[in-house]
Amino acid sequence: MGLVEQSATAVDWERSWTGGDGVPMHAVTRALSGENATYLLTWSSAERDWTANGDTFRLVAAGFRPVGWVSMPQGAPPGRAEAPPASGPGGPASQGVPPPPPPPPAKPGGRPQTSAAAPPRSASVKPPAPTTAPAQGRAIRGVGSGRCVDVPSRAATEGVRLQIWDCDGRAGQKWIFSSDGTIRSLGKCLTAAGGSTADGTRLTLTTCTGSTAQKFRLNQANDLIYLRADKCVDVQQWGTANGSPLQIWSCNGQVHQKWVLA
């Protein structure tokens, strides 16, 4: 493809190629700039007929005037149209009128085709708003209270005592049962305070260390067992209200020691 002619309002490109049936083809496209749009006028024929058809195209193109055409006086400075890319792959992109798509083959003497170039799309596209991934894990809901094991204020404060609270899906109510026997939330572990095995030992959230004070298992009877003492996670004083604290206590089969995953 090569640039044949350029003026303030028109640019021509000629192109030769071999059609699907092996017939050499020739085409010329003229880009005409009107007041509100750019028009593409394309003529193509077999190479052997191009001498006659090329003259016909030039006569037709010379008489074509798009809506809003502004005649340029002699001696006027050139327009803003710039040369199209050089022929062959890898040529630089045109900064003026974009090169037309390959023209469809036409029989000798065919009528020229015109089309109005589409307006450019806006380059200002807003990126999608970032989304926050939901917290992993599941809630541990008390059978007796209907409330969930909860980290107060959703703050992973070292040693904070755990409680029950209305289940609301917050991150401080999401617990991951790890293969090492720990139960984790907010990056820390459910822990029997001080590693004690005595009834009434507070249940807290602390940094995961792999200690036996952090090993628990939910069995088929819905007891959440503290393995080191073989005792149960228990709501203090049979509490069912928001804020009731958790502790370790000898398993007794009561509903305030029964837990299900939600």
Identify the structural domains of the chain with CATH numbers, from first to last: 2-116 (no CATH), 140-261 (2.80.10.50)
Task: Give the tokens for residue 83.
Answer: 């040369």
Q: What's the pLDDT at 57? A: 73
Nearest 5°: phi and psi at 59?
Answer: -65, -45
DSSP 148-192: EEE-GGG---TTEEPEEE-----GGG-BEE-TTS-EEETTEEEEE
3-state SS assignment for residue 113: strand
The residue type found at 260 is: V
pLDDT of residue 61: 73
Low-confidence ranges of the chain (pLDDT < 50): 1-8, 70-97
pLDDT, residue 97, reads: 47
Residue 17: per-residue pLDDT: 75
CA torsion sign for 59, 63, 69, 71 is: positive
Q: Name the token pair of 50.
A: 């191009």
Instruction: Name the residue among 72, 95, 71, 100 with its Cα closest to residue 83.
Output: 95
Contact 137, 184 (CB under 8 A): yes
